[in-house]
């Protein structure tokens, strides 16, 4: 131990050990050194946990190795024992400030009122070192707050002496209120689960989301009333929004079928309508109704977080053609799955249920139970299930409803599903109800009134208020857990450092207004606001607060130019593309040897329209990255509607969103150019921009599968309006087959010429090859998780000819025992297999081909990374 640590320790109150003179056991050594693996191994091999005089536990805590200390405690290490300095573990933990360890010690029932040999109590030690959360923990565990140090000093006095007034104040208040026991009891977890179900309702405009929620909300009497009102609304309802002529067109034009605009003949929901609905036999359910209007989609990922207590309903209208129904449902299913982390087990997101609506206006008939029989609905559901084998949480059973009739079979079924989910959750007893949660729920109702105007607090203010008004002893950990529970229940919405205490306000008054068509039509075309401008446009509450919240939700970026602060909202940017943005006549890029390169990011062929709701987030991240890189970099970023241009000294990069008018397919194009001899620079900037774009896509849509197609540099150089894009699976297959990757050349179908891999991705500079690793040589773990999930859909189901995951495992050299051992971890066998397979991507593809699973091989080839930039190795 160094001299420095010695004096530090002495001043902090716990003792100093001349440890090098002691003889340690292996466990003591490993614990002191902080080697978790060694400690685990030694514990497993039966090492004596408590050999002294300085036991492993004491040593680990002194060196602040929390995980080791916790492991030793879990394994039964003795904690009521002094070390060579006369300290108990609790003394050391209170001195150095290991809250988790103190927490665990208290939970194990350790004595919190034992003094050190110098007469200091744990409370004094924590007070002296300013660990207020540990003070809370000790008080919760029942320690005497009036206990006096040997010179007759109380802990609050110690705190004052060392300048920790907050601790003194806490102890004073505790003494004054006399509610300490009640506070402590509130923090004790009960066996009752913290459970409130959520129902998320998604679908295009006018499919019946609002009507369904209203019916769900209707009591017996109002339900009688709703039936008659619905008849009226049907009468007044003009012909269905999509008429027959349009249906004919839909077969060729996917865009038309994915019409996200609402027709004017009903009141379309704006934003996200969040409400509590009390359902008989189920109890309170938070219902989230997501508007079908496209302008709101960019915020939905914030609300589609993992929640095993949720059911998500996707509605579709039976008045549409089957084709349109399928496309709409697939859109929403892909939209949802894109927002799920593919590596989380699917139950984390709850079940997805399809609901066919408007059955009353079709020619469907009812059976004796009152259940609708509708072949069209069946066709749609079958097609959707077939197209998405990897949607593991999609329920096979679906509902058919007239959304305006609450007392019908479909609603009974829906309530049955919610009730079954509740039973299921109760059995698994997820989450723990505490008195604190209960008290907080009551308290929140009052707080919402108090902050009605702008119901947003920082976590810090929330904690302060909660402690002042609910529970003085709630530690940061308690509050963190409480906020997670409240967030999951839909009672609050936490984003970064902010807590929104009224979720309905957030969904309707804030998002519903600010991103409505009406507001967007009046917004500034550049999307750039000063806080005063913003206040003028939205005067319901303080602009700075709102801007802070929107910034936390990544909807705008705060930019400071020479002391002036502006907020950029790519979501409002309606600026047209500037002409001359990518001027073919620019002399810098006309010389021979000028560098050109580009890529097209696409979602898989069977998906469409997933990028529009994300692209503004790409623009947010591009702005942030530009600000972070600093002005020193001579970097300028121009942004317009669906496009950005980055100018970095001599290089130009264009990032644009395109939609193929004939198919509705979308892609993000990234193009770069630089003068001659800038290949290295181009290559690295290009990869960096792709990384930024990729990160933004991942942030919003962690489950989105993105393919990287390569644009022909030959054609980019001559500004050919129709540039050929090489498909990733073609490139990857060619590279796999070639003896040497650098020799690969590929045929350009537009120009009928060959282009080499060096030209395609290395800016015609072979030297760059030293800085990269080719995709096929990467390991299976580098396959993006969404692609792995897709493989699960293909390889999990047992195959009569054994062409499934079992045989794949054998081919990859994984023994039977290994596979069997894996069975207990993940829900999908393929996912387990891919998580441990240590072979290259190329080997995986080869094995899949050997198994005659071209479909699975294709998924890998399309989505595997093309290359990976490795640490700069100078050639």
Ligand X SMILES: Nc1nc2c(ncn2[C@@H]2O[C@H](COP(=O)(O)OP(=O)(O)OP(=O)(O)O)[C@@H](O)[C@H]2O)c(=O)[nH]1
Binding site for ligand X (CB under 6 A): 203, 205-211, 233-234, 237, 262, 266, 268-269, 291-292, 357-358, 360-361, 401-404
Q: Tokens 């309903």 sit at which residue?
A: 313
Q: How far is CA 102 from CA 300, 431, 630, 760, in A?
A: 40, 22, 44, 59
Least CB distance to ligand X at residue 394 (A): 20
Question: In degrees rounded to 5, what are phi and psi of residue 149?
Answer: -65, 160
Least CB distance to ligand X at residue 546 (A): 24
Least CB distance to ligand X at residue 202 (A): 9
Least CB distance to ligand X at residue 591 (A): 54
186's enclosing H/E stretch is helix 180-186
330's enclosing H/E stretch is helix 322-338
d(C-alpha 217, C-alpha 280), whole Å: 10
Between 206 and 694, CB nearer to ligand X: 206
Between 231 and 461, CB nearer to ligand X: 231
| Chain residue whose CB lies nearest ligand X | 208
Q: How far is CA 113 from CA 122, 125, 185, 274, 393, in A?
A: 7, 12, 19, 49, 51
The SS3 call for residue 356 is strand
Least CB distance to ligand X at residue 616 (A): 21
Question: In degrees rounded to 5, what are phi and psi of residue 524?
Answer: -70, 135
Least CB distance to ligand X at residue 318 (A): 8
Characterize 570-592 residue by residue with b for buried, 16 or more Cβ atoms within 10 angstroms of its Cβ, and e for exposed. Answer: bbbbebeeeeeebeeeeeebeee
Between 59 and 315, CB nearer to ligand X: 315
Q: How far is CA 741 from CA 458, 738, 761, 867, in A?
A: 54, 6, 12, 12
Least CB distance to ligand X at residue 669 (A): 31
Residues 6+ apart with CB under 8 A from 741: 735, 757, 774, 776
Q: How far is CA 203 from CA 316, 327, 841, in A?
A: 6, 11, 38
Least CB distance to ligand X at residue 399 (A): 11
Between 15 and 291, CB nearer to ligand X: 291
- Calculate ∠ Cα 487-493-494, nearest 5°: 90
Between 410 and 837, CB nearer to ligand X: 410
Structure-token pair, residue 460: 């810090």
Other C-beta atoms closer than 10 Å to the C-beta of 633 total: 11
Least CB distance to ligand X at residue 406 (A): 11
Between 113 and 360, CB nearer to ligand X: 360
Between 552 and 612, CB nearer to ligand X: 612
Structure-token pair, residue 455: 């119901």
Between 133 and 508, CB nearer to ligand X: 508
Between 211 and 295, CB nearer to ligand X: 211
Between 268 and 729, CB nearer to ligand X: 268
Question: In degrees rounded to 5, what are phi and psi of residue 568?
Answer: -100, 125
Contact 332, 324 (CB under 8 A): no
Least CB distance to ligand X at residue 755 (A): 47
Between 315 and 651, CB nearer to ligand X: 315
Least CB distance to ligand X at residue 367 (A): 18
Question: In degrees rounded to 5, what are phi and psi of residue 417?
Answer: -65, -45
Q: Using H for helix, E for strand and C for coil, what is the string for 39-77?
A: HHHHHHCCCCCCCCCCCHHHHHHHCCCHHHHHHHHHCCC
CA dihedral sign of residues 556, 560, 565, 566: negative
- Select from 768, 584, 586 the least CA-distant residue to 677: 768
Least CB distance to ligand X at residue 313 (A): 11
Between 295 and 346, CB nearer to ligand X: 295
d(C-alpha 531, C-alpha 542), whole Å: 9
Least CB distance to ligand X at residue 267 (A): 7
Which residues pair with residue 457 across a beta bridge? 499
Between 237 and 849, CB nearer to ligand X: 237
Least CB distance to ligand X at residue 615 (A): 22
Between 125 and 207, CB nearer to ligand X: 207
Least CB distance to ligand X at residue 397 (A): 19
Least CB distance to ligand X at residue 607 (A): 22
d(C-alpha 332, C-alpha 388), whole Å: 12
Between 328 and 502, CB nearer to ligand X: 328
d(C-alpha 154, C-alpha 593), whole Å: 79
Characterize 673-697 residue by residue with b for buried, 16 or more Cβ atoms within 10 angstroms of its Cβ, and e for exposed. Answer: bbbeebbbbbbebbbbbbebbbebb
Between 210 and 328, CB nearer to ligand X: 210
Q: Tokens 């997501």 sit at which residue?
A: 290
Contact 397, 351 (CB under 8 A): no
Least CB distance to ligand X at residue 413 (A): 15
Least CB distance to ligand X at residue 270 (A): 8
d(C-alpha 473, C-alpha 475), whole Å: 6
Between 133 and 210, CB nearer to ligand X: 210
Characterize 151-186 residue by residue with b for buried, 16 or more Cβ atoms within 10 angstroms of its Cβ, and e for exposed. Answer: eeebbbebbbeeebeebbebbeebeeeeebeebbeb
Between 403 and 555, CB nearer to ligand X: 403
Concatenated DSSP letters for 410-442?
HHHHHHHHHHHHHHHHHHHT-S---HHHHHHHH
Characterize 360-389 residue by residue with b for buried, 16 or more Cβ atoms within 10 angstroms of its Cβ, and e for exposed. Answer: bebebeeeeeeebebebbeebbebbbebbe
Structure-token pair, residue 487: 């967030």
Contact 486, 492 (CB under 8 A): yes
């Amino acid at each position: 131990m160094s001299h420095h640590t010695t004096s530090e320790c002495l001043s902090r109150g716990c003792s100093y050990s001349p440890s090098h003179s002691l003889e340690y056991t292996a466990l003591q050594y490993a614990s002191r050194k902080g080697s978790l693996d060694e400690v685990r191994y030694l514990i497993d091999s039966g090492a004596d946990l408590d050999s002294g005089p300085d036991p492993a536990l004491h040593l680990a805590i002194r060196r602040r190795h929390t995980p080791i200390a916790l492991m030793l405690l879990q394994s039964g290490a003795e904690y009521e024992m002094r070390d060579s300095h006369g300290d108990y573990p609790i003394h050391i933990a209170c001195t150095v400030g290991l809250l988790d360890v103190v927490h665990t010690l208290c939970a194990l029932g350790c004595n919190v009122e034992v003094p050190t040999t110098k007469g200091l109590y744990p409370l004094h030690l924590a007070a002296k070192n300013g660990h207020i959360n540990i003070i809370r923990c000790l008080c919760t565990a029942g320690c005497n707050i009036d206990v006096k140090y040997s010179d007759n000093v109380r802990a609050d006095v110690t705190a004052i002496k060392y300048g920790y007034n907050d601790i003194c104040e806490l102890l004073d208040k505790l003494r004054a209120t006399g509610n300490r026991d009640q506070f402590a009891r509130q923090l004790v977890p009960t066996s009752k689960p913290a459970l409130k179900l959520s129902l998320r309702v998604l679908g295009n405009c006018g499919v019946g989301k609002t009507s369904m929620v209203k019916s769900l909300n209707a009591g017996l009497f109002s339900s009688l009333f709703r039936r008659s009102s619905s008849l009226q609304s049907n009468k007044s309802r003009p012909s269905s929004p999509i008429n027959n002529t349009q249906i004919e067109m839909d077969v060729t034009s996917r865009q038309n079928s994915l019409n996200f605009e609402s027709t004017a003949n009903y009141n379309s929901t704006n934003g996200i309508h969040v409400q509590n609905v009390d359902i008989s036999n189920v109890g309170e359910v938070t219902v989230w109704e997501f508007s079908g209007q496209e302008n709101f989609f960019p915020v939905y990922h914030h609300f589609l977080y993992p929640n095993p207590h949720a059911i998500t309903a996707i509605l579709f209208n039976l008045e549409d053609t089957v084709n349109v129904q399928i496309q709409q449902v697939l859109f929403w299913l892909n939209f949802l799955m894109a927002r799920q982390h593919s590596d989380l087990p699917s139950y984390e997101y709850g079940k997805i249920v399809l609901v066919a609506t408007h059955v009353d206006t079709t020619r469907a008939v009812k059976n004796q139970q009152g259940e609708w029989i509708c072949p069209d609905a069946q066709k749609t559901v079958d097609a959707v299930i077939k197209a998405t084998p990897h949607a593991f949480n999609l329920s096979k059973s679906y509902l058919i409803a007239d959304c305006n009739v609450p007392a019908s079979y479909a609603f009974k079924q829906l309530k049955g599903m919610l009730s079954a989910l509740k039973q299921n959750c109760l059995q698994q007893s997820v989450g723990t109800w505490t008195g604190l949660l209960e008290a907080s729920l009551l308290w929140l109702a009052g707080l919402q009134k108090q902050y009605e105007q702008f119901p947003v607090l920082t976590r810090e203010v929330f904690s302060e208020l909660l402690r002042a008004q609910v529970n003085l002893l709630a530690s940061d950990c308690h509050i963190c857990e409480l906020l997670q529970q409240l967030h999951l229940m839909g009672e609050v919405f936490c984003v970064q450092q902010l807590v929104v205490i009224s979720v309905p306000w957030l969904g309707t008054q804030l998002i519903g207004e600010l991103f409505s068509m009406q507001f967007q039509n009046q917004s500034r075309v550049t999307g750039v606001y000063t806080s005063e401008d913003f206040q003028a446009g939205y005067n319901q509450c303080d602009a700075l607060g709102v801007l802070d919240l929107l910034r936390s939700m990544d909807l705008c970026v705060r930019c400071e130019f020479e002391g002036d602060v502006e907020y950029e909202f790519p979501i409002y940017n309606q600026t047209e593309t500037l002409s001359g943005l990518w001027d073919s006549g620019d002399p810098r890029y006309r010389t021979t040897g000028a560098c050109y390169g580009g890529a097209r990011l696409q979602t898989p062929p069977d998906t469409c329209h997933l990028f529009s709701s994300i692209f503004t987030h790409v623009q947010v991240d591009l702005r942030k990255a530009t600000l972070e890189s600093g002005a020193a970099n001579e970097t300028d970023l121009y942004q317009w509607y669906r496009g950005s241009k980055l100018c970095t000294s001599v290089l130009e990069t264009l990032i644009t969103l395109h939609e193929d008018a004939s198919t509705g397919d979308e892609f993000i194009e990234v193009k770069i150019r630089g003068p001659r001899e800038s290949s290295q620079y181009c290559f690295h900037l290009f990869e960096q921009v792709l990384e930024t774009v990729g990160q933004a896509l991942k942030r919003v849509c962690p489950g989105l599968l993105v393919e990287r197609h390569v644009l022909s540099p030959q054609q980019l150089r001559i500004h050919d309006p129709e540039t050929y894009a090489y498909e990733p699976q073609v490139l990857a297959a060619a590279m796999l087959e070639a003896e040497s990757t650098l020799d690969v050349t590929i045929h350009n179908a537009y120009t009928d010429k060959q282009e080499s891999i060096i030209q395609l991705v290395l800016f015609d500079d072979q030297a760059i090859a030293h800085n990269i690793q080719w995709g096929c040589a990467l390991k299976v773990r580098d396959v993006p998780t969404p692609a792995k999930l897709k493989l699960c859909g293909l390889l999990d189901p047992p195959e009569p000819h054994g062409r499934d995951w079992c045989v794949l495992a054998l081919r990859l050299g994984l023994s039977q025992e290994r596979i069997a051992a894996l069975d207990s971890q993940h829900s999908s066998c393929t996912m387990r297999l891919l998580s441990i397979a240590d072979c290259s991507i190329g080997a995986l593809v080869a094995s899949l081909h050997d198994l005659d699973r071209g479909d699975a091989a294709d998924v890998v080839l399309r989505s595997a990374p093309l290359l990976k930039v490795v640490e700069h190795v100078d050639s």
